[in-house]
A and B are shown apart, each in its own frame.
Chain A
Amino acid sequence: MTTIDLTDTSASAVSSALINARRAAGNQAVGMVLTFVVVVDEATHYDAMRSALDAGREHPSRVLVVITRPGRGPARLDAEIRVADSRPGDTIVLRLFGELAKHADSVVLPLLLPDTPVAVWWPSKAPPVPGEDPLGVLAQRRITDSAASSQPIRALHQRAVSYQPGDTDLAWTRLTPWRALLAAALDQMPGATVTAATVEAERSNPSAEILGSWLGGRLGVEVTRRASSGPGITLVQMTTSGGPNIAPGDVVLSRPDGILAQLDLPGGPIRPVALRRRETAELLAEELRRLDPDDVYATVIKGCAPTERSA
């Protein structure tokens, strides 16, 4: 691991220092598949960077950690370059002081890898319209996390009204295993019609809202919401009318402890199924697998737009 600190520097100086560091370490910038921009504040940057680096094991990338420190001091860029021997890709922590904090794109743009996609992630606070943010504009994929906001449901509403192709939210990513199990459950009941659905979750859980929107949209039923003490989503129930050779009954997927769930299908035994809440790095790795707009998310998030009832 080579670390180089540069204070009061510029993007071009960072760029040439990076090339020198890599040459010294003997590994070249081969195999990197994307640039991953992480926009954080000083307090949370360590955890976010760890997650980004872990995700980078699956998607070797150049990680640019952008820490803005606006204030009255002079505009200044400090950079910390890390080239690891044990991991593909490289990491640059950029600290933007004073006036420069408003012009992060001017620092990031020259450091993007040529001809490869760019993803940007706001681990906590996201801009109101990610697609119009100066850094967001540079990216094919803009990842927010409404659950990390201090007001998750309000953040989710904001995501819904500000959606642009390429946006995605980790509250949606967290649902993939749930959705996979629910879809697989209905695979086993061909012809059965779902007449009602319920989602039970902790209060202010944006994933539950999104799951409700997805189920409601796909199944064409009203989805009942129930509050529980969590963690996260604790139960999904789909009432089916039965079909040819299928008895009517409820599909119930419940997970009281956030780790091990139970699946109950009409006419079948109750079966345990692993449904652990995933680490942020795993969520990011899933996000980075596809960098084209997620059309399913687009439909679902629009269904989460604020209404009079929820506002």
Chain B
Amino acid sequence: MRRDSEEPSGNPLRDPQDRRLPRIAGPCGLVIFGVTGDLSRKKLMPAVYDLANRGLLPPGFALVGFARRDWADQDFAQVVHESVKEHARTPFREETWKQLAEGFRFVQGDFDDDVAFDTLRKTIAELDVARGTSGNHAFYLSVPPKFFPNVVQQLKEHGLADSQGGAWRRVVIEKPFGHDLASAQELNRIVDEVFPTGSVFRIDHYLGKETVQNILALRFANQLFEPIWNANYVDHVQITMAEDVGIGGRAGYYDGIGAARDVIQNHLLQLLALTAMEEPVSFEAHALRTEKQKILSAVTLPDDLDLHSARGRYGAGWQGGIHVPGYLQEEGITRTSTTETFAALRVDVETRRWAGVPFYLRTGKRLGRRVTEIAVMFKRAPHLPFTSTATEELGANALVVRVQPDEGVTVRFGSKVPGTAMEVRDVTMDFAYGESFTESSPEAYERLILDVLLGDPPLFPRHEEVELSWQILDPVIEHWETLGAPETYAAGTWGPPSADEMLARDGRTWRRP
């Protein structure tokens, strides 16, 4: 009956067969820098509450806010309370709130304020006693990237990065991870100097999405798709991330960065890696990473970037019945800006599996609608035993992974139209997450924060991946910088004409997602 000797953990209550027991993070605390920001209020704090509500946070969990505001602990608790009430996914429960509330602390200060960091150190030490967090703390840098070096250095100088005994210290950083290869390397150097590689968690919240993780299940848990997942059957792949919003109030962040750096470098190249990679030997972090890195290092750019890339900038226009301003009219944007808000790019993957199969990546703001999807477009059947009129309306087969919104998978294939004549037309077969699984699947941030606290890294890109992505993108951005202002497209459309021309050159067209 006793099986404790068999278990690596040595905990007699743990049994690998006992799959009901969730993994609860050990005693620990989370320190959020920039806690007054949008991300923190809309995503991080609600995610912490939702985790607690699902019973996945340890009793005695501590949440420390660090920001410039002059708040007491109670004011901070009030802010968390409001953010949870407004944005949490799970219902508000008094007992969950009580479990969390005693662990709220607020530290006021600037990022170069030695006194504040000293207070932070004392606060953490006090929490270790009062809440039993045992010295385990994660630092979440929800601040603009220019402050990263500052905060990380301060953590080092005040001894906050040193872990003692069996305790851990981890640091979480959000994209963008630099703005080109050199700056990414510089950032990695700064962070690596202070925290060991295994303690640095780079959050790309896309990778925490259920649908993105489902790409792996779809490909590697099924017999149906993998045999055709190669150049013999696939004609090309389109990966799209479209937003219907403009830059809003983020001019300061966005101008000079642009769509390619903002989205292609991280989200789209990660989606490409998951779509194109070989089967990992296991789903351990290192095995996944190895395969993703192999694919990213096999990605090549076309020789002539003018022919195979496109960039654009939204002009004023009507979108969904509302008149919206163009990019140059947005607040805080200078008339001389050459930042692109639409970027499309062809890349090739130099492996046996994908030889001759182009991957088209596109992203933009103020496009037709908000959608992220991966469309694997298949070749047409080599022979059609029908008259040409019968198949006039038949397109190519497609398998589309809808990442957001309306998460799911669509398969498109031809079917006979009812009637006496033989006529084949495209139909779709749909799988929607919302239909077959819970109505509200966990938010990406819930999963990612829990993984940080558990120290489980598979869903976080490592610095090698970040640097490889920049290596791919740097030549494109350098080339674009020589070209002056991007082409204008009307808001609410699917990008500039050059994007369509770019595919037409290859004899293809963009899917309307």
Residues of chain A whose beta carbon lies under 8 Å from any beta carbon of chain B: 30-33, 57-60, 88, 173, 176-177, 179-184, 186-188, 190-191, 194, 215, 217-220, 259-260, 263, 265, 268-269, 271-276, 286, 290, 294-296, 299
User: By the criterion CB–CB under 8 Å, are B17 and A184 in contact?
Assistant: no
User: By the criterion CB–CB under 8 Å, are B99 and A268 in contact?
Assistant: no
User: By the criterion CB–CB under 8 Å, are B432 and A31 in contact?
Assistant: yes
User: By the criterion CB–CB under 8 Å, are A57 and B102 in contact?
Assistant: no
Q: Does B18 contact A (CB under 8 A)?
A: yes
Q: Does B335 contact A (CB under 8 A)?
A: no
Considering only CB atoms, which chain A residue lies closest to B165 in the complex?
A245
A-B contact pairs, 12 of them (CB 8 A): A60-B437, A182-B13, A183-B14, A184-B24, A187-B26, A218-B2, A220-B1, A259-B94, A269-B129, A269-B132, A271-B59, A286-B20
Q: Does B22 contact A (CB under 8 A)?
A: yes
- Given the complex, which residues of A lie within 8 Å of B18, measured CB to CB? 179, 296
Considering only CB atoms, which chain B residue lies closest to A186 in the complex?
B11
- Given the complex, which residues of B lie within 8 Å of A217, measured CB to CB? 1-2
Interface residues of B in 427-465 (CB under 8 A from A): 430-432, 434-439
Q: A182-B13, A187-B11, A268-B60 known; 20 other A-B pairs, CB under 8 Å? A: A33-B436, A60-B435, A60-B436, A60-B437, A88-B435, A180-B24, A181-B59, A184-B24, A187-B24, A190-B9, A218-B4, A220-B1, A220-B12, A263-B60, A271-B60, A271-B131, A272-B59, A274-B95, A290-B19, A296-B17
Residues of chain B whose beta carbon lies under 8 Å from any beta carbon of chain A: 1-4, 9-15, 17-22, 24, 26-27, 52-53, 55, 58-60, 93-96, 98-99, 102, 129-132, 134, 430-432, 434-439
Q: How many angstroms between the C-alpha atoms of A220 and B3 in the bound complex? A: 10
Q: How many angstroms between the C-alpha atoms of A286 and B99 in the bound complex? A: 23
Count A-B pairs with CB separation below 8 Å: 129
- Given the complex, which residues of B lie within 8 Å of A58, measured CB to CB? 437-439
User: By the criterion CB–CB under 8 Å, are A276 and B19 in contact?
Assistant: no
User: By the criterion CB–CB under 8 Å, are B102 and A31 in contact?
Assistant: no
Within the complex, the shortest CB–CB distance from A15 to chain B, in Å, comes to 21
Considering only CB atoms, which chain A residue lies closest to B132 in the complex?
A268
Given contacts A31-B435, A218-B2, contact A265 B132 (CB under 8 A): yes
User: By the criterion CB–CB under 8 Å, are A191 and B437 in contact?
Assistant: no
Q: How many angstroms between the C-alpha atoms of A181 and B24 in the bound complex? A: 8
- Given the complex, which residues of B lie within 8 Å of A299, measured CB to CB? 1
Partner of B52, one of A191, A271, A274, A290: A274
Considering only CB atoms, which chain A residue lies closest to B15 in the complex?
A296
Considering only CB atoms, which chain B residue lies closest to A182 in the complex?
B13
User: By the criterion CB–CB under 8 Å, are A219 and B13 in contact?
Assistant: yes
User: By the criterion CB–CB under 8 Å, are A274 and B19 in contact?
Assistant: no
Q: How many angstroms between the C-alpha atoms of A281 and B22 in the bound complex? A: 19
- Given the complex, which residues of B lie within 8 Å of A59, measured CB to CB? 437-438
User: By the criterion CB–CB under 8 Å, are A274 and B130 in contact?
Assistant: no
User: By the criterion CB–CB under 8 Å, are B436 and A183 in contact?
Assistant: no
Q: How many angstroms between the C-alpha atoms of A136 and B131 in the bound complex? A: 48
Q: How many angstroms between the C-alpha atoms of A160 and B13 in the bound complex? A: 21
Given contacts A60-B435, A60-B436, contact A187 B93 (CB under 8 A): no
- Given the complex, which residues of B lie within 8 Å of A183, measured CB to CB? 11, 13-14, 21
- Given the complex, which residues of B lie within 8 Å of A220, measured CB to CB? 1-2, 12
Q: Considering residues A179, A263, A269, A275, which has the most beta carbons from chain B within 10 angstroms of its beta carbon?
A: A269
